[in-house]
C-alpha cells in the first residue's frame, strides 16, 4: 500500500469512525464513489478504529453472486460474533445441516439484536451479492432467494448500526452519505517513489508526463496504469491515457492483452488467472503456495503493485481484475481444475492449523469446499463438510456440467433434497441428471414436477420438463404443459423478459424442430417477440431451419441450409461463378433424378409478386450438363444435390455449380441438452 494513500485513507477512516458511535443504533452510512475509488479500503480501515472504541465491527464481504454467497455472508457474521462471545448456542445452529436456512438466519439476527448497541455491520457492495431477476440456469434461484432474505434482514430487520459501500444501504433520508469524489487521489500518489519498489521509475515518469491530467484517476486506475507502463512503456501509456481517459475496466482489458503478448510474462499470466479464482484476501503464504516466488523481479513488482492491493498483512485482487474474459481464457479446463485443487489443498492445510489452535474456521471450510467442488472431483470434496444445501447444489452442478458425472451429481442432489425438500434447484437437477442417464424416466418425471410445484416461475424448470415429454413422444401432454408454462410465466400477452424466451421458447423450439414437430415449433416461435427473433441469431437460425424443413415437407426445397431463408432470392447466384456481372439470369435447382441420358432438375424462380416461388421440372442431356458443369460431372451426382444454374450474355451460355455435398448445421443453432436420442440408445434402438 502506498504511504500517501494510507495517510489519506487513515484521515478519512478517522473522521468516519469518530461519527459512528455518536449516532443511534439504527443509523445507516453509505460510502459512495467510483469503482476503484477506495470504498472497500475505507470500509476495512474502519474495523480496527471501531474495535479501539469498544464496538464490535463485523465485515461482511462474501463472494458476490455465487451459490454460496448467502452462506458465506452468514458465516462471516457468525464467526465474528463467536469471537466476541455473542453467539452462544447459535454457532451449533449454523453447523446443523438439518436446520433450515430461515432458522439459521433468524438465529444470527437475534444474536445481533441482543447486542445491537455494540455491533456495527460493515457491508461491502451488498447490492452485488444477488443477481437481477434472470432466467440464467447457471445461477440458482434457490440460492438467490437466500441472499435476498439476508440482504432484506440486514436492511430492514436488524437494529444495529450499518455501513454500506455503494448506494445500496437504504433509500430513506436517514442514511448518512460519505462520498469519495473521483479526484480524491490525484497524481501525487505517483510521487511516493519508495512505495513503488521496482516500479518506482515508470511511476515517476508517468507523473512527469501526465501530472495533473491524472487528477480524475482512482487509486485502482493509477496502479493499473503503472503496471501497464512496466509491461509496455511510459510513452505508450501516456499517449493511451491522454487520448482516451479510460476507466478501470478498459485499462484492465488493455493490460491483459499486453501481458498476453509478452512471452516472458507467461508465468505471471498463469498466476494472475489462478489468483483470479481466489475469493478471499490473499496472504503471502498463499502467494508462495501458488508459485509467486518463482516470478522475475519485474513480474513480482507488477503483481504486488499493480494486480494486487495490499491491506495490512493481506492482498486483495479487485473484481475488475478477476472477472475478465481474456484472463479466464489463460487457463484450460484441466489447468483451471488443477488450480482449484491446489487451492483446496491450501485451505485444507490452513484448516488443520486452525483446528490445532481450537480456532473457528467455518469460513475457511466453506472456501475449501468451494474449490474442491469447482475441481469436480468427488474424492477431493470428501475431505470437507458442507453446512448448507446451497453448497451441495454447487457441487452437483460442477459434477454434472464440468465432469459430466451424472450419477455422482444425482447422488449429491438427493442429499440436498434430504436436507431441504423445498430445494427446487436440487429437485430439477436431480431430474435432469437422471434424465441424462435415461435409467428411470418415472423418477425424472416426479422430480421435474416437484421442482415446478415448489417454484413454477422459473422458465428453465418448464423448458426441461416440456422437452422431457417431447423426447418421450408425449406430444399432447407437452402442448398442455406448454400452455401452463405460458400462463405461469405470464407470457399470455406475448410480453416478458427476453431471458425467459431465451430459456423457454428457444430450447423447446429447438427440440421440436429436431423431431420435425413443425406445427408445434411454429407456434412456439410465433409466440416469441418479433424483435428478439430479429436480433438473436439463435432464433434466426431456428426460423431458417424451420423454413427449410417446410420446403422439404413439400418436396420443393431448392437451397441447402447454408443459404439462409432471408438471403435466398438475390440478383446474383450464391456460389462462386466467374464474371458475375455478365450473368443475365440464374436459377436454384435440386437434382430430382439421374438417368442414363438425362439429368432431371427441379428449378425455381421468384414470381413477379415477389412472394410466391414458381417451380418447373427441366431435363438436361447429360452431355450438355457436363459441358456446363464447373464442379462434379453428371456421373457423380445423386438425387437431392443442390445446384445453381447461371446464364451469360445474349446467347445465355449455361454454367452450373454444385453446392458442397456435406452435412452442415448453422453455428448459431442452440445445442440440444440433454442428448435427444438417450432413451433410444439406452433401449439399444439408436446407435
Could you read off the pLDDT of 336-391 as tens digits, one per residue?
999 999 999 999 999 999 888 877 889 999 999 999 999 988 888 999 999 999 99
- 555 pLDDT band, cuts 50/70/90, is low
**Residue 497 pLDDT grade (very low, low, confident, very high; cuts 50, 70, 90):** confident
The pLDDT value recorded for residue 557 is 84
Question: Does residue 4 surpass a pLDDT of 50?
Answer: no
Is the same domain home to 134 and 259? Answer: no
Q: What are phi and psi of 196, to 5 degrees?
A: -95, -5
Q: 232 and 146: one domain?
A: no
* Cβ atoms of residues 452 and 444 within 8 Å: no
Average pLDDT over residues 236-264: 92
Of 277, 312, 331, the domain-final residue: 331
Query: Would you say residue 685 lies in a domain?
Result: no
Residue 170's pLDDT is what?
45
Rg of the chain in Å (alpha carbons): 32
Can you tell me the distance from the alpha carbon of 539 to that of 22, in angstroms, rounded to the nearest whole number? 59
Q: Assess whether 142 and 56 both reside in one domain.
A: yes
* 248 lies in the same domain as 288: yes
Q: What percent of the chain lies above the pLDDT cut of 70?
A: 94
Q: Is the pLDDT of residue 73 over 90?
A: yes
Tell me the H-state helices in 560-648: 622-628
Contacts of 197 (CB under 8 A, 6+ apart): 301, 304, 305
Model confidence band, residue 2 (pLDDT cutoffs 50, 70, 90)? very low
Give residue 653's domain range.
565-658
Strand partners, 654: 647
Q: Is residue 283 situated within a structural domain?
A: yes
**Residues 390-394, mean pLDDT to the nearest whole number:** 96
Task: Write down the number of H helices and E strands in the chain.
Answer: 31, 13
CA distance 47 to 122: 8
Q: With the CA atoms of 27, 32, 36 and 42 taken in that order, what torsion angle do they form, in degrees rounded to the nearest 10?
A: -30
**Domain identity same for 64 and 148:** yes
d(CA 610, CA 568): 12
Give the mean model confidence (pLDDT) for residues 189-202.
76
Question: What is the rounded CA–CA span in Å between residue 417 and residue 425?
Answer: 9
Q: Give the residue from 153, 180, 207 where a domain finishes.
A: 180
- One domain, residues 232 and 325: yes
Are 147 and 200 within one domain?
no
Report yes or no on 637 lying in a domain: yes
State how many domains the chain has.
3
Q: What is the reported pLDDT for 168?
A: 41
Q: CA–CA separation, 221 vs 210, rounded Å? A: 14
- Domain boundary residue, one of 297, 314, 331: 331
Q: Helix or strand or coil: residue 648?
A: strand
Q: Is the pLDDT score of 126 beyond 90?
A: no
Q: What is the pLDDT of residues 499-510, one digit of tens each?
A: 899 999 999 999
| DSSP code of residue 59 | E
pLDDT of 393 reads: 96
The pLDDT of residue 662:
83
Residues 176 and 156 in one domain: yes
Q: Do 560 and 662 contact (CB within 8 A), yes or no? A: no
Determine, yes or no, domain membership for 373: no
Q: For residue 469, give every residue at least 6 positions away whose Cβ sits within 8 Å of its Cβ, in sequence order, or none.
A: 475, 477, 478, 481
Q: Is residue 466 domain-resident?
A: no
Per the model's pLDDT, the better-predicted residue between 423 and 608 turns out to be 423
The pLDDT score that the predictor gives to residue 675 is 93
DSSP 65: T
Kindly state whether residue 93 falls inside one of the protein's structural domains. Answer: yes
pLDDT at 87 (0 to 100)? 83
Q: Are 211 and 159 members of one domain?
A: no
- C-alpha cell belonging to residue 104: 439459521
> What's the rounded mean pLDDT across residues 197-211?
86
Answer yes or no: is 97 within a domain: yes
pLDDT mean over 236-258: 92
Regarding whether 147 and 254 lie in a shared domain, the answer is no
Residue 178 pLDDT > 80, yes or no?
A: no
In which band, very low, low, confident or very high, does the pLDDT at 493 lie, cut at 50, 70 and 90? low
Query: For residue 591, what pLDDT is reported?
Result: 94
Asked whether residue 115 is assigned to any structural domain, the reply reads: yes
The chain-wide mean pLDDT, for the chain, equals 89
* Mean predicted confidence (pLDDT) in 303-328: 88
Is residue 400 scored above 90 in pLDDT? Answer: yes
Residue 149 and residue 28 share a domain: yes
pLDDT number for residue 175: 76
Q: What is the CATH number of the domain that holds 637?
A: 2.40.50
- The answer to whether residue 5 scores a pLDDT higher than 60 is no
CATH of the domain at 70: 3.40.50
| Same domain as 126, residue 7 | yes
pLDDT band of residue 193 (cuts 50, 70, 90) is low
* Grid cell in block for residue 653: 451460355
pLDDT surpassing 90 at residue 68:
yes
pLDDT of residue 577: 96
Summarize the confidence of residues 586-614 as an average pLDDT.
Answer: 91
Amino acid at each position: 500500500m502506498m504511504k500517501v494513500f494510507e495517510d489519506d485513507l487513515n484521515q478519512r477512516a478517522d473522521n468516519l469512525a469518530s461519527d459512528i458511535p455518536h449516532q443511534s443504533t439504527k443509523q445507516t452510512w453509505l460510502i459512495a464513489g467510483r469503482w476503484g475509488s477506495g470504498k472497500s479500503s475505507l470500509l476495512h480501515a474502519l474495523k480496527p478504529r471501531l474495535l479501539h472504541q469498544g464496538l464490535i465491527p463485523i465485515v461482511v464481504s462474501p463472494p458476490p453472486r455465487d451459490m454460496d454467497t448467502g452462506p458465506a455472508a452468514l458465516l462471516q457474521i457468525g464467526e465474528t460474533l463467536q469471537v466476541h462471545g455473542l453467539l452462544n448456542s447459535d454457532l451449533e445452529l449454523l453447523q446443523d445441516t438439518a436446520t433450515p436456512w430461515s432458522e439459521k438466519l433468524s438465529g444470527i439476527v437475534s444474536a445481533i439484536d441482543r447486542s445491537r448497541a455494540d455491533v456495527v455491520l460493515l457491508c461491502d457492495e451488498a447490492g452485488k451479492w444477488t443477481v437481477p431477476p434472470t432466467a440464467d440456469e447457471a445461477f440458482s434461484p434457490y440460492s438467490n432467494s437466500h441472499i435476498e432474505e439476508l440482504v432484506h434482514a440486514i436492511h430492514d430487520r436488524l437494529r444495529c448500526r450499518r455501513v454500506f459501500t455503494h448506494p445500496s444501504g437504504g433509500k430513506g433520508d436517514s442514511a448518512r452519505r460519505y462520498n469519495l469524489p473521483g479526484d480524491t487521489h490525484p497524481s501525487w500518489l505517483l510521487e511516493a517513489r519508495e512505495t513503488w519498489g521496482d516500479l518506482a521509475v515508470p511511476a515517476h515518469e508517468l507523473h512527469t508526463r501526465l501530472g495533473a491530467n491524472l487528477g480524475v484517476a482512482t487509486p485502482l486506475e493509477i496502479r493499473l496504469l503503472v503496471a501497464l507502463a512496466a509491461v509496455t512503456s511510459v510513452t505508450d501509456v501516456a499517449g493511451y491515457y491522454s487520448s482516451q481517459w479510460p476507466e478501470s475496466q478498459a485499462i484492465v482489458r488493455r493490460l491483459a492483452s499486453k501481458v498476453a503478448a509478452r512471452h516472458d510474462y507467461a508465468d505471471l499470466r498463469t498466476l494472475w488467472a489462478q489468483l483470479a479464482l481466489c475469493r478471499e484476501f490473499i496472504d503471502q503464504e498463499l502467494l508462495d503456495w501458488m508459485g509467486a516466488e518463482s516470478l522475475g523481479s519485474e513480474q513480482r513488482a507488477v503483481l504486488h503493485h499493480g494486480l494486487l492491493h495490499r491491506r495490512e498483512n493481506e492482498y486483495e485482487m479487485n473484481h475488475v481484475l478477476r472477472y475478465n474474459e481474456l484472463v479466464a481464457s489463460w487457463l484450460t479446463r484441466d489447468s483451471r481444475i488443477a488450480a482449484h485443487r491446489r487451492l483446496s489443498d491450501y485451505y485444507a492445510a490452513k484448516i488443520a492449523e486452525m483446528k490445532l489452535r481450537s480456532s473457528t474456521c467455518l469460513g475457511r471450510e466453506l472456501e475449501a469446499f468451494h474449490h474442491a467442488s469447482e475441481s469436480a472431483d468427488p474424492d477431493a470434496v470428501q475431505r470437507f463438510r458442507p453446512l448448507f444445501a446451497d453448497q451441495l447444489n454447487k457441487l452437483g452442478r460442477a459434477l454434472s456440467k464440468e465432469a459430466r458425472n451424472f450419477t455422482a451429481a444425482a447422488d449429491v442432489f438427493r442429499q440436498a433434497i434430504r436436507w431441504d425438500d423445498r430445494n427446487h434447484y436440487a429437485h430439477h437437477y436431480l431430474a435432469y441428471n437422471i434424465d441424462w442417464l435415461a435409467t428411470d424416466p418415472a423418477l425424472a418425471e416426479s422430480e421435474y414436477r416437484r421442482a415446478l410445484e415448489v417454484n413454477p416461475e422459473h422458465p428453465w424448470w418448464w423448458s426441461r420438463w416440456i422437452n422431457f415429454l417431447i423426447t418421450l413422444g408425449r406430444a399432447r401432454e407437452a402442448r398442455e404443459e406448454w400452455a401452463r408454462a405460458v400462463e405461469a410465466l405470464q407470457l399470455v400477452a406475448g410480453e416478458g423478459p427476453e431471458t425467459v424466451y431465451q430459456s423457454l421458447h428457444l430450447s423447446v423450439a429447438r427440440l421440436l424442430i429436431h423431431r420435425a414437430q413443425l406445427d408445434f415449433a411454429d407456434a412456439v416461435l410465433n409466440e416469441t417477440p418479433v424483435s428478439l427473433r430479429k436480433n438473436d441469431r439463435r432464433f434466426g437460425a431456428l426460423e431458417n431451419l424451420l423454413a427449410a424443413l417446410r420446403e422439404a415437407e413439400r418436396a420443393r426445397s431448392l437451397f441447402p441450409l447454408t443459404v439462409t431463408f432471408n438471403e435466398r432470392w438475390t440478383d446474383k447466384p450464391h456460389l462462386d461463378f466467374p464474371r458475375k456481372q455478365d450473368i443475365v439470369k440464374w436459377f436454384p435447382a435440386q437434382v430430382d433424378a439421374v438417368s442414363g441420358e438425362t439429368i432431371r432438375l427441379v428449378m425455381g424462380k421468384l414470381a413477379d409478386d415477389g412472394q410466391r416461388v414458381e417451380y418447373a421440372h427441366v431435363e438436361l442431356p447429360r452431355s450438355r450438363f457436363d459441358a456446363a458443369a464447373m464442379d462434379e460431372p453428371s456421373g457423380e451426382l445423386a438425387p437431392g444435390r443442390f445446384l445453381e444454374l447461371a446464364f451469360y450474355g445474349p446467347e445465355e451460355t449455361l454454367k452450373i455449380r454444385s453446392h458442397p455435398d456435406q452435412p452442415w448445421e448453422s453455428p448459431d443453432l442452440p445445442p440440444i441438452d440433454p442428448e435427444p436420442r438417450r432413451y433410444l440408445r439406452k433401449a439399444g434402438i439408436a446407435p
